[in-house]
Structure 1
Amino acid sequence: MPPADAHTRPWAPVDTPAGAFQLVPVDPERDLATLTRWMNDPVVAAFWELAGDESVTAAHLAPQLADGSHSTPWIGVLSGTPVSYWELYRADLDPLARHYPARPHDMGVHLLIGEERHRGRGTGTALLRAVTALVLDHVPRCTRVVAEPDVRNAPSVSAFRRAGFRLSAELDLPEKRAALMVRDRTTPRPRP
């Protein structure tokens, strides 16, 4: 899991080729309008399926913000500006674990680049590298990070590959056909 106080404490900023980047825990009062706007962007809505008013976004966040959740929602702040949304979760405690050979303390990642001007420019790859390194640095029992983007989301799958993930399998999940992407702790970190 992320640190015990992960819901209230940001991780230290890191330098990336895209700029200074920091993960900041979601604060619904501060972030709900921005997240709702991002969820209603057609590119995001096609895969997240959370378009609607703020109540839809709030309902998605609520279980993650509850005590005992195995998932933590974050805002990705790049050079002082919110640009992305992240969910870091214990994949071995998630329903996903029923669909692949999960290992104890596998961490999973969901992400979206909310600001269109940062899509298709390598920003997602740079941020994935940074977040994966943060997870592996902050969660020492984690031996790998996994993700399961929709196989139709070619830009996302490509960004994971460029960030050092490998395609392990295709999975038939209840809501999609997914590309199981895996980044092992022992995999050399890709160069920027």
Structure 2
Amino acid sequence: MSLTDTGAEALPAPVTPDCPDPRGGVAPGAGALLRDDEETLNLRLPAEFVALRAELPDQGSPGETDLLDGVHTWGPTRTPVGVFELVPVRVDRDLPLIQGWMNDPAVAAYWELAGPRDRTERHLRAQLGGDGRSVPCLGVLDGTALSYWEIYRADLDPLAHFYPARPHDTGIHLLVGEAAHRGRGLGSALLAAVAELIMERRSACARVVAEPDMRNTPSVTAFLNAGFRCSAEVDLPGKRAALMIRDRVRRELP
């Protein structure tokens, strides 16, 4: 899941520069300094990023800026497993489904949102009522909602304290809701499709990032199979994570 609220800053801790690859071998990485910070949601925007945003050329007047370039307008995309679309969450419609997924033991072990509906509801409303740096979505494949996504601005998130963030870095959190859809390559196919969709719809974004728990081998493997590289192991508040990065591929003109 996202970073856990610690309530106070801690001393910096080192990044481990290499990640073991669950498929065998070691992925190359890069070092940085880490520090604990606030929850991904409901946080204060770090002062350095306030200044960064003020310098970006695409920022409009207050109330006009869309930090994620209109996720609700991205529309469907064809993938090897079907037609897929990110549909922004509506709490009145989607809460029962998402809350049921959060109570699946395989999901709860990493998202830590199992329990009554109001716990999941608070998590969703914190994003929906925020400044737009994180958008919760259902992943709909061929008309069926089968996954939950959070698309977020990693460069405006506390995660940016844990790696050398670049402007417009875009982050992904993902869960596949039903056990029947896991373990057969669906997650990898959808991660690759969403990474491409982000690059297509967010022209200023050069990298898609994620931070799955190192213990969650299926998740780490899915990111690797989707074209992400493991840049480093990082000690985040509450978990040791694999910093996964997928770079924009520059296609050569014929």
Q: In 2, distance between residues paired with 1:64 and 1:132? A: 21
Q: Is 1:110 aligned to residue 173 of structure 2?
A: yes
Q: 1:173 is matched with which residue?
A: 236
Shift of 1:10: 4.8
Q: Is 1:135 aligned to residue 198 of structure 2?
A: yes
Gaps of 5+ in 2: 1-66
Q: 2:186 is matched with which residue?
A: 123
Larger deviation: 129-138 or 59-68? 59-68
Match of 1:58 among 111, 121, 130: 121
Q: In 1, distance between residues paired with 2:177 and 2:165? A: 29
Based on CA coordinates, which of the two structures has the bigger radius of gyration?
Answer: 2
Matched residue pairs, number?
A: 185
Q: In 2, distance between residues paired with 1:187 and 1:152? A: 33
Deviation per CA, 1:100-146: give whole Å up to 9, x if none. 11111100000000021110010000100111011111111111000
Shift of 1:187: 7.0
Gaps of 5+ in 1: none
Shift of 1:186: 2.2
Match of 2:164 among 88, 96, 101: 101
RMSD: 1.3
Name the amino acid aligned to 1:53: P
Name the amino acid aligned to 2:180: R
Q: 2:77 is matched with which residue?
A: 14
Larger deviation: 94-103 or 61-70? 61-70
Match of 1:150 among 188, 213, 217: 213
Matched-pair identity in %: 59
Name the amino acid aligned to 1:165: F
Q: What's the TM-score once normalised by structure 2's chain length?
A: 0.71
Match of 1:3 among 66, 69, 89: 69
Q: What's the TM-score once normalised by structure 1's chain length?
A: 0.93
Q: In 2, distance between residues paired with 1:134 and 1:126? A: 12
